[in-house]
Structures are given as C-alpha cells and as structure tokens.
Chain A
C-alpha cells in the first residue's frame, strides 16, 4: 500500500528563518512520482513541484528547495529566509506509475510571523 506521512502538523517560525517541511512516503513501486502543493489561506491549491523516482537531484527554485532521498524515502521541502506570504498549508503527495490515484499527506500548516 502507498502512504504519505507529514509528521509535522503545525510549524511556527519568525520571518527570515529557514524552515524544513518533512515528507516520508511508502510505496512498493519502482517508478513513482512525488508532488508538493501549497494551500494559502485563500484556499486554492497551488502546484509547487513534481519529481519522479529516477531523478534524485535536489531542486532549487528561488527560496524553495527540495531534497529527495530514496534511501530514507523522504522528499523534504525547505523554505529559505521565510516570509509572511509563505504562511500556508503544504501538502506532499505520491503516485505510482500506473496508479490513477494521488495519495496525499495530511499537510503541514506553516505560520510565518513578522
């Protein structure tokens, strides 16, 4: 069975701090895909990144970076120099290669305080 665990339910930081959101997944598929989505207070779901299991290179996009480690089944998300606008719920999700269903973590609520 596939599963995504986001152990951190809520995180609170002060602006400009770095913060890492953890995502641990379980799957027996050799090919799979991992995603991160952001849900700001306005409620919409915003796509952040998609990675496949064969690409273990870390990804950096501005202040955002992702660390994919197959050895520990983790796909962690780091925000550098956090800003108030980063306050949101962040979801990690997993899909197998031939799986028509996306498996979601329960999300981590991040509050960035001024």
Chain B
C-alpha cells in the first residue's frame, strides 16, 4: 500500500493563479480531509469528506474548493492564490463513519504564493 500520497511536494505560485493539490489514498478510507499548517497555528482543517459526493467545510475553507468523485481521490483547489495561502498542506484519511478513527497523513505539499 502506498498509503496517502500528495502531489506536488513543492509549488510556487503567483498571486491570482489557480492550482489543484492532489491527494489519493489506497486504503479504501471513507473519510478524507485537508489541513493547512502554519507556524504557531498548529493544524487547521480546511475541508473534509465522509464519502464520494459528500464534502463539508472545516475551520478555514475560504479560498479553497474540494470535490470527491471517487473514494480514492480528494483534490484541493485554490481558486485565486493569495500570499496568505502560503503554507504546508496535508491530506489525511481514515475509516468512517462510526467512531473517529486514526487519521493517516500524506507527506505534505509546501506551497509558496508570491
């Protein structure tokens, strides 16, 4: 099993550009989520999904879109990048729906917006 994979590992964007961060998992997990990690702020939930076709907002959803067309994939789209979106982005997955289960994380994407 590859676990949770994320691409790209690093990305530099200019303000106003759009891009999609990819996340895939091969563990047949229903629950997937996106976090951003900023110095001194810990991990903050952006969006999450409890299954294909079901997504919901987390703590900091503004400026980001998600969709979940398959169990395996959960891409995160930045609509119009802003310097405030410079961060490290983590994707995670876990079993669902009953008990909150252990979330397994991808290696992260380091995004810089100039």
Contact = CB atoms under 8 A, between A and B. Distances in A.
Contacts of A50: 101-102
A107 B33 CA distance: 19
A52 B98 CA distance: 13
Interface string A25-49: 0000000010101000001110100
Nearest to A9: B40
Contact of A104 (B42, B88, B107): B42
A95 B40 contact: no
Interface in B66-114: 88, 90, 92, 99-105, 107-108
A13 interface: no
Given A33-B99, A45-B90, A105 B42 contact: yes
Interface in B38-76: 40-45, 48, 50, 56, 58-59
A: interface residue count bin: 20 to 34
A104 B42 CA distance: 7
The 10 closest A-B pairs by CB, nearest first: A95-B100, A45-B105, A106-B42, A104-B43, A104-B42, A33-B100, A50-B102, A47-B102, A44-B107, A43-B108
Interface of B: 31, 33, 40-45, 48, 50, 56, 58-59, 88, 90, 92, 99-105, 107-108
